[in-house]
Amino acid sequence: MSRCPSCADRTLDPIRLGDSDLPALGCSSCGGALLSLVGYRDWRDRTGADAVDATAVASEDAGDVSDTQSALRCPKCSAFMTKYRFSAEARNQIDLCNHCDEVWLDHGEWELLGRFALSKQLATVFTRPWQHRLRSEEAKQRAETRWRDTLGEDYARAREMRTWLAGHPKGKELLAYLYLSQTEKS
């Protein structure tokens, strides 16, 4: 009998995840679910490739999605689970036991993965390339935020100009012209 890693005093019961036929163990108190990656891969192979969800949100819309901040212990082996972000846009973290390949999804996180069109890529999220890409995306976003703060009300205009230069066949020459006009002593 597995106990809920979040509620501790609740046991997990067999459920199906969301409106899929993917078997998991669910907690009726917090709405979280424990999912075996082995079962998940079976399901993914059985149900075929991901139909890319065009309605996937790019911005964070957490709605009523929970996210446990504290470290969770794996219901199977009691080891601490590792937290993984899955998108630069969502703050949510999903927990994985690296020993058992069991994933803990807080209430609503399965649906959130769906909104990011990641229902069929759950196993990929934990891989090094994915996490690496995520970190460089986040670094880019942080840099962008710094520029927005620095440039203030001119930020939107600067972005527009950047887009214009990036698509211009003489972008580099135009940039050199602008740059030199600022640095040359008159």
Cα distances from 88 to residues 16, 52, 111, 146, 175, in angstroms, run: 28, 18, 17, 17, 30
Query: Using CB under 5 A, which of the segments 10-18, 59-67, 116-124, 155-163 binds Zn ion?
Result: 10-18
Determine if 4 is a binding residue for Zn ion (CB under 5 A). Answer: yes
Residue 35 phi, psi (nearest 5): -125, 130
Of the candidates 63, 173, 56, 169, which has an alpha carbon nearest to the alpha carbon of residue 118? 56
x-or-dash string of contact with Zn ion, 58-97, rule CB under 5 A: ----------------x-xx-------------------x
Nearer to Zn ion, 10 or 159 (CB): 10
Nearer to Zn ion, 2 or 47 (CB): 2
Of the candidates 90, 108, 101, 105, which has an alpha carbon nearest to the alpha carbon of residue 126? 101
Burial class (CB in 10 A: 0-12, 13-18, 19+), 23: middle
x-or-dash string of contact with Zn ion, 100-119, rule CB under 5 A: x-------------------
Nearer to Zn ion, 5 or 120 (CB): 5
The residue ranges that bind Zn ion (CB under 5 A) are: 4, 6-7, 10, 27, 29-30, 74, 76-77, 97, 99-100
